Copies of this chain bind each other. A is one copy, B any other.
Amino acid sequence: MRQAIELLYFAYRAFTAEPDAILAELGFGRAHHRVIYFVGRNPGIMVSELLALLRITKQSLARVLSQLVREGYVLQSPGPRDRRQRLLSLTPKATALERLLTERQSQRIARAFARAGDGTADGFRRVLLGLMDDEDRRRFPDPDAPRRAPR
């Protein structure tokens, strides 16, 4: 059990190190990464939804988000039905950055799967899913969901 605790610590540190280094050269930090990532995954997301996803305050988000908007990474457009909303999306520049960062992290994960051996990816995914809060787990498809019976 203690081993699992340490594994998580060292793995997560390695997992974030490379993006952090790339971001630092652009004057960004990990908080910017999260915004770019989640806006990229959820284009047109509302500010309030992003806040709920990240679980930070709007004041914390503001600094990061306004910098991203100012520097041409994130676009804000009024909601079509509710004009109070500022729906967020990435510019091409940000999309490219998001791809780069995700690609690096994906490569690390792919190497980890390869090193860990066949059939380990499922256990990895299922345990991480079990680890997170119930509320967050709902965002993921149930790995035990009954599928259309294959003929």
Contact = CB atoms under 8 A, between A and B. Distances in A.
A131 interface: yes
Interface residues of A, number: 52
A37 B2 CA distance: 10
A145 interface: no
Oligomeric state, in copies: 2
B122 A120 contact: yes
Given A115-B130, A130-B111, A133-B14, A7 B106 contact: no
Interface string A10-21: 111111010000
20 contacts: A1-B110, A3-B125, A4-B124, A5-B37, A5-B105, A7-B125, A8-B11, A10-B132, A10-B139, A12-B12, A15-B131, A111-B130, A112-B130, A112-B131, A113-B127, A116-B129, A117-B126, A120-B123, A120-B127, A124-B126
A128 interface: yes
Interface in A1-41: 1-15, 17, 34, 37, 41
